[in-house]
Amino acid sequence: MSKGKSPTANAVSAEAGRPKGRLLALDILRGITIAGMILVNNPGSWGHIYAPLEHASWNGLTPTDLVFPFFMFIMGVSTYMSLRKYDFRLSGSLLWKVLRRAVVIWFIGLAIAWFGLFLRGILNEATLWEAVWNFDHIRILGVMPRLAICYGTGSLIAVLVGRKGVPWVIATMLVAYSVILLLGHGFEFSDRNVISVVDHKVLGPDHMYADTIDGVRLKFDPEGLLSTLPSIAHMLIGFMCGFLLMGTKDNRERINRLFIVGTILTFSGFLLDFGLPINKKIWSPSFVLTTCGLASSFLGLLIWIIDICGHKKWCRFFEAFGINPLFMYCLGAVLSIVIGSVKIGDMSIKGHIYKDFLMPVCGEDATLASLVFALLFVGVNWCVGYVLYKKKIYIKI
């Protein structure tokens, strides 16, 4: 603390540098999820992943399975705050904003996928033309395209049916998806799973993610077309929690609302798990309810810690991720492609860091070295985010 300034003055100064209308607790939750997404996507070795940083192989839930749905929930909350400026009425300017942002997010996701193919093509001595036009195996869907679809579709649903109609849309989507899963072998990891069948028909296997479970390798996209339906419902639940959050300026009342909704959703999800197992890869209805409930409760907890108790120093690290979330996610993805593709000798940059440096430092403990690499990678990305944070640069995507 600089001489002559009180803690209150410092707090006011820090808040003054933040974009108008943003909630610190929401930015911190957003930052935690982005840091988490970068962390779990970049182990030192995919063969030696620290156990809590692994996704559930099929049914079930791990800490890693929470990061993406938490971000989807936050996007719903943020969408409520954004649409409130338009009084939740459809207009030409609102339609243009929503469609433009959805298209931009989608194409950024495609650009990252293309960049990986392009770089590998160049490094494998393909011609420039072959590398540039390497679209035969590009993955069409993924994290960014799913965010684009859910943001665009969810925003339009919210303004077209109104706040009172959104819960009915959520319920209809989840019930309809449950029926589709039950009738279409949706809980099987097989080529007759309706989610896989739709993606094969519409996208084609060359444009899908390949997964391996219990030794069985299958083209099965965890961000598939059909499973986007419950993801939209997921985003809309966040939208309704945004209504509860912004419906009062009393932080204690906000906490009460978020904890009550969080408890109801979490228990509902766990109960539904007995008939419709919690499964991230198909984004099952029980997964939607459980993760939205946990996200709501966690947001309430952060409001209590940060805004009521005033404990803010610890969260500056995550704020650097939270104020530029999509940019930071894209930065992590691009850096990961570069260090994983560019080789020095017969090994990638990532391989040298992991095997030649971290393994000896960690006493040849492959899992520990893998975890340390992931943490260091998050730290490198944070350095960029911190510079933007200090310079008050906000990159909107």
Q: Is the pLDDT of residue 283 over 80?
A: yes
CA distances from 185 to 178, 191, 212, 282, 354 (A): 11, 10, 18, 11, 41
Where a domain ends, among 255, 281, 306?
A: 306
Which one has a higher pLDDT value, 290 or 217? 290
Determine the 3-state secondary structure of 22 from DSSP.
coil
What's the domain range around 81? 61-108+135-306
**What pLDDT sits at residue 304?**
94
Regarding whether 342 and 229 lie in a shared domain, the answer is no
Predicted model pTM: 0.90
**What pLDDT sits at residue 125?**
67
Regarding whether 151 and 76 lie in a shared domain, the answer is yes
Q: Is there a contact between 308 and 300 (Cβ–Cβ < 8 Å)?
A: no
Q: What is the 3-state secondary structure (H, E, C) of 132-199?
A: HCCCCCCCCCCHHHHHHHHHHHHHHHHHHHCCCCHHHHHHHHHHHHHHHHHHCCCCCCCCCCHHHHHH
Q: Is the pLDDT of residue 11 over 50?
A: no
**What pLDDT sits at residue 298?**
97
Residues in the chain: 397
Where a domain ends, among 306, 321, 352?
A: 306
The rounded percent of the chain whose pLDDT value lies above 90 is 71
Regarding whether 294 and 227 lie in a shared domain, the answer is yes
The rounded percent of the chain whose pLDDT value lies above 70 is 94
The predicted-structure confidence for 21-34, as pLDDT tens digits, reads as follows 467 899 999 999 99
CA distances from 30 to 140, 220, 326, 344 (A): 25, 28, 10, 36
Burial 332-363 (b: 16+ CB within 10 A, else e): bbebbbebbbeeeeeebebbebbeeebbeebe
Instruction: Indicate whether 368 belongs to any domain.
Output: yes
Number of domains within the chain: 2
Regarding whether 220 and 91 lie in a shared domain, the answer is yes
Q: Rounded to the nearest 5 degrees, what angle is found at the Cα of 331, between the Cα atoms of 73 and 319?
A: 55
pLDDT bracket for residue 122 (50, 70, 90): confident
Sign for the pseudo-dihedral over CA of 25, 74, 148, 163: negative
Which one has a higher pLDDT value, 227 or 121? 227
Instruction: Indicate whether 146 belongs to any domain.
Output: yes
